[in-house]
């Protein structure tokens, strides 16, 4: 029991000591992405890159980002976009990107490369609209929410019962108004 308590108490300390080691060896996906200097995300057919490395401006620009497809070899061949943002965070985005694997390169205004990262854009699925079968006779609503037509005989019998009920009610009310009469 004493050994188990010691292990339980020392567990958080061991985990805290191992965390920096795991981050520096690249076991975490976010640490590997941060090491490149850029962060690339996709949302449908849009690719966005953010960085904090391009803080200096040259002629009003912080730098450029380029999206290279698999057949393109250098920065100039890709789809280039100017970085925008503040000195703490810069970003660029490409829209209408088709499915495939791309390389994103960010070059700051001072000529230094902020980072390079590969990204895969998944095909955008569009919803399909298909016709559904509609009822052949439509909604059947009749008297009393019935779906069966009982015909004239049923309606006549119902009318006779209603008339008999009304007649009985009139007879009882007239009789109550004259107490000595039978």
Residues 3-38 pLDDT 10s? 545 444 544 444 434 433 333 333 333 333 334 688
Judge if pTM exceeds 0.75. Answer: no
Q: What tokens appear for 38 in the block?
A: 């850029």
What is the radius of gyration, based on Cα positions, of the chain? 40
Residues 59-74 pLDDT 10s? 778 889 999 988 888 8
Neighbours of 62 (CB within 10 A): 25
DSSP states of 48-59: EEEESS----BT
């Amino acid at each position: 029991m004493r050994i188990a308590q010691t292990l339980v108490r020392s567990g958080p300390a061991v985990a805290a000591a191992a965390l920096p080691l795991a981050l520096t060896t690249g076991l975490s996906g976010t640490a590997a992405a941060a090491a490149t200097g850029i962060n690339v995300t996709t949302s449908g057919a849009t690719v966005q890159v953010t960085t904090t490395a391009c803080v200096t401006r040259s002629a009003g620009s912080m730098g450029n980002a380029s999206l290279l497809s698999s057949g393109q070899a250098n920065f100039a061949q890709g789809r280039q976009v100017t970085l925008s943002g503040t000195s703490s965070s810069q970003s660029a985005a490409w829209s209408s990107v088709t499915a495939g694997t791309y390389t994103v390169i960010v070059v700051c205004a001072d000529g230094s490369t902020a980072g390079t990262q590969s990204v895969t854009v998944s095909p955008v699925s569009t919803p399909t609209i298909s016709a559904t079968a509609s009822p052949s006779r439509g909604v059947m609503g009749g008297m009393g929410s019935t779906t069966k037509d009982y015909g004239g005989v049923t309606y006549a019998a119902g009318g006779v019962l209603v008339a008999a009920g009304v007649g009985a009610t009139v007879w009882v009310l007239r009789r109550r108004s004259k107490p000595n009469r039978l």
